[in-house]
Amino acid sequence: MIEGRDWPDCKKCGEGLLIPLSDYGRDGASIMFKAWVCSNPGCGFNIRIDNGEISLGRTIGQSNK
């Protein structure tokens, strides 16, 4: 867990916190806060930012099949 900072509450489940994820661009520069995901595994809420557009609710790295 990331400690010592106040992450925003997840508005979907109201239990988890939204944790920012970083990514790296093609030139190796880090992209801060590219995506935010809920820390509650049962919720799965996430926000991604791609090329300045925000997309909601896509499942990242996990499926329930």
Nearer residue to Zn ion within complex by CB, 43 or 49 = 43
Minimum CB separation of residue 15 from Zn ion in Å reads 6
Judged by the rule CB under 5 A, the positions of this chain that interact with Zn ion are 10, 12-13, 16, 38, 40, 43, 45
Nearest to 37 by CA among 63, 17, 62: 17
Nearer residue to Zn ion within complex by CB, 7 or 23 = 7
- CA-to-CA distance for 16 and 9, rounded, in angstroms? 6
Nearer residue to Zn ion within complex by CB, 24 or 58 = 58
- CA-to-CA distance for 19 and 36, rounded, in angstroms? 5
